[in-house]
Amino acid sequence: MKWPKNLITKFPFSHLCSDGCPTDFALAHTLEYREKYKPWAITPGGVKENEIGWFYVRGYSPTRYLLSNEEGGSSVIWYRPGLQKISSGRYEEYFRVVIHGLDTCIADALHRSNGKIGKCNVLLDAKGFGLSYIPSIGQTKKLMSMLQDHFPDRLGVLVIANMARAAETFLKMVLPFLPIEVRR
């Protein structure tokens, strides 16, 4: 998504603004979210949830927009959902790990590129992902809403590796919730 010239955003604030939101409202909404949710603060429960390393930021993708390869471009998130089954009642810790990792990835990309690039490339390794790993639709929609509302235009490239049948099923369930720009 890009910032429109008329400053009316089309972020998915469907429950707030059905015809788009003024930019100042969208920014205020995200600042309020960040103040309440504190994505930079990872709890001991979040650390324990990710101790096997199913979600982490490591490395960066070279870009043609920067002269030096040391600067790098988009940071890379490695997401391996087959390593961690979400137990019921632990969705909050799971979400916090994802949001904290995304926040770290964006900060790393912005720092490395001197504020020019704030995108993340995601490598999703679906190895070991089975039907019992699929989260509920309600929880999936909640996470998608948080990502779409507060991290718009942050996804660079999504690469899916080791696609299992269960992962294909989950992808088919999730695609209708994604904006057309993301689906492409």
The string of pLDDT tens digits covering residues 68-120 is: 656 667 889 999 998 888 877 788 888 888 988 998 899 888 888 888 788 89
Token pair 């190895």 is found at 127
The string of pLDDT tens digits covering residues 25-69 is: 778 888 898 888 888 778 787 788 788 889 988 888 877 666 665
Closest CA to 161 of 93, 79, 83, 44: 79
Tell me the whole-structure pTM to 2 decimals.
0.80
Residue 4 pLDDT: 56
CA distance 166 to 183: 19
**Token pair of 86, please?**
């979400």
CA distance 104 to 110: 10
Side-by-side strand order, sheet with 75-79: 55-60, 75-79, 120-125, 155-161
CA distance 78 to 105: 10
Residue 127 pLDDT: 92
Question: Using H for helix, E for strand and C for coil, what is the string for the chain?
Answer: CCCCCCCEECCCCCCCCCCCEEHHHHHHHHHHHHHHHCCCCCCHHHHHHCCCCCEEEEEECCCCCCCCCCCCCCEEEEECHHHCCCCCCCHHHHHHHHHHHHHHHHHHHHHHCCCCCCCEEEEEECCCCCHHHCCCHHHHHHHHHHHHHHCCCCEEEEEEECCCHHHHHHHHHHHHHCCHHHHC
